[in-house]
Amino acid sequence: MRIVSGIQPTGNLHLGNYLGAIRNWVGMQDEWTAKGATCLYFLADLHAISMPHEPASLAANTREMVAALVSCGIDPDRSILFNQAQVPAHAELQWLLNGTARMGWLNRMTQWKDKAGKNREGASVALFTYPVLQAADVLLYQATHVPVGEDQKQHLELARDVAQKFNNDFASEDAPVFTLPDPIIPPQAARIMSLRDGSAKMSKSDPSDMSRINLVDDADTIMAKIKKAKTDPEPLPETAEGLEGRPEARNLVGIYATMAGTDVASVLTQFGGQGFGQFKPALGDLLVEKLAPMAARYRELREDQGALDAILRKGAEKARALATPTLDAAYQALGLVR
Ligand code: TYM
């Protein structure tokens, strides 16, 4: 079993990242490494250059994201934690897979359509081929499971298509070069929504900081953001069906359930019939209680740049060793002489 996933170091870790992905990264690490599985978690710094960026901020954000992941429970002794830029095999395999991926497949990607918007001619080539690099990220390590939020599902389907076509075109049936990876998406936190708009996902790129809870937010900020979160005037329903058509209410209840380690039905048993005036302070308290220890560790860890760089260096060394056999097999399958 190989568990592989990545996050872009483009800003603060927010609640969507945490509940949609990182909590599962930690859970899978805790459950599976003890049974011999390998977990590889990386900072997708090569993906981060597909959009306009400040080099100095990218370097700072990369180190801060390592500190954030470790403070959330990623243990660099049990998981392989690294950044793509220190493992050249990611970029190499992407080029090899560019021969297999089809323009039509990439043209259908919703992230490409959203991020390029109307200005496709002005978008970077990297933004277009972004999903091929993402396919390389997981195929390189023969990933079997990829814990992600719902928004990455389409990219993983593409990774499977790329793997399948490459295997069909260049490998024999009994010796495929790549494993087809399965996405692992948390049922209640697949898509955490913005606190200001129940139809938009919580995102680093939202210009309003009030739209998201960041790992680094202090208790007062968290309480204020939850208090100001958009809701409707109705009290909470008694059952999950009552959340239909109430995206903001559904989002807050989903956050509560996931954070408390329970389900939506139990949260509604407790809070059904109550107004947001009662529910919001309870949600704020729960978030503060769960996030504060991580935020405290984060503030400590981020100070030691040497230690953070050492984590990435060691992780990259292990990742390079694991990547080599698959990369070699891909070169060979394509008939490239080295
Ligand atoms: P990124 O950096 O946007 O997000 C990191 C992880 O957080 C999840 N996520 C969410 N989950 C639920 N609700 C939300 N509002 C929310 N926002 C973000 C994402 O689904 C993701 O799992 N392309 C990827 C990084 C990547 C990657 C990979 C992931 C590069 N290569 C290979 C998996 C495997 C990205 O930009 O994630």
- Residue 10 marked ligand-binding: yes
- Residue 54 scores a pLDDT above 90: yes
Among 14, 17, 45, name the best residue to mutate to test ligand 1's pocket (greatest count of ligand atoms within 8 A of Cβ).
17
Ligand 1: atom nearest CA of 17 is 7
* Residue ranges of domains in the chain, CATH in brackets: 2-190+305-333 (3.40.50.620), 209-301 (1.10.240.10)
Closest by CA to 49, choosing from 118, 114, 133, 105, is: 133
Is 204 in the active site?
yes
201 a catalytic residue: yes
pLDDT digits 0-9 by tens, 89-100? 999 999 999 999
Give the model's pLDDT for residue 30. Answer: 97
Top mutation candidate among 62, 152, 252 for ligand 1, by most atoms within 8 Å of CB: 152
Atom of ligand 1 nearest to the CA of 130: 23
Mean pLDDT of all residues belonging to the chain? 97
Q: Is the pLDDT of residue 154 over 90?
A: yes
- Please determine, for residue 124, whether its predicted confidence score (pLDDT) is greater than 90: yes
Residue 114 annotated as part of some ligand binding site: no
Q: What is the pLDDT of residues 181-217, one digit of tens each?
A: 999 999 888 999 999 999 999 999 999 999 999 999 9
Mean pLDDT of 109-130: 95
Ligand 1 neighbour 148 (Cβ under 6 A): yes
Give CA angle at 133 (312, 144), nearest 5°. 75
* pTM value > 0.90: yes
d(Cα 4, Cα 139) in Å, to the nearest integer?
Answer: 9
Beta-sheet strand order (sheet of 182-184): 80-83, 38-43, 2-7, 145-147, 182-184
> What is the predicted ipTM?
0.99
CA distances from 161 to 78, 107, 264 (A): 31, 14, 34
Q: What is the pLDDT of residue 11?
A: 82
pLDDT for 203: 95
Provide the 10 A C-beta neighbour count for residue 235: 17
Say yes or no to pLDDT of 177 above 90.
yes
244-303 pLDDT per residue, tens: 999 999 999 999 999 999 999 999 999 999 999 999 999 999 999 999 999 999 999 999
Q: Return the pLDDT at 188.
A: 86
Residue (of 223, 103, 198) closest to 211 by Cα position = 198
Please tell me the distance from the alpha carbon of residue 270 to that of residue 205, in angstroms, as a whole number: 34
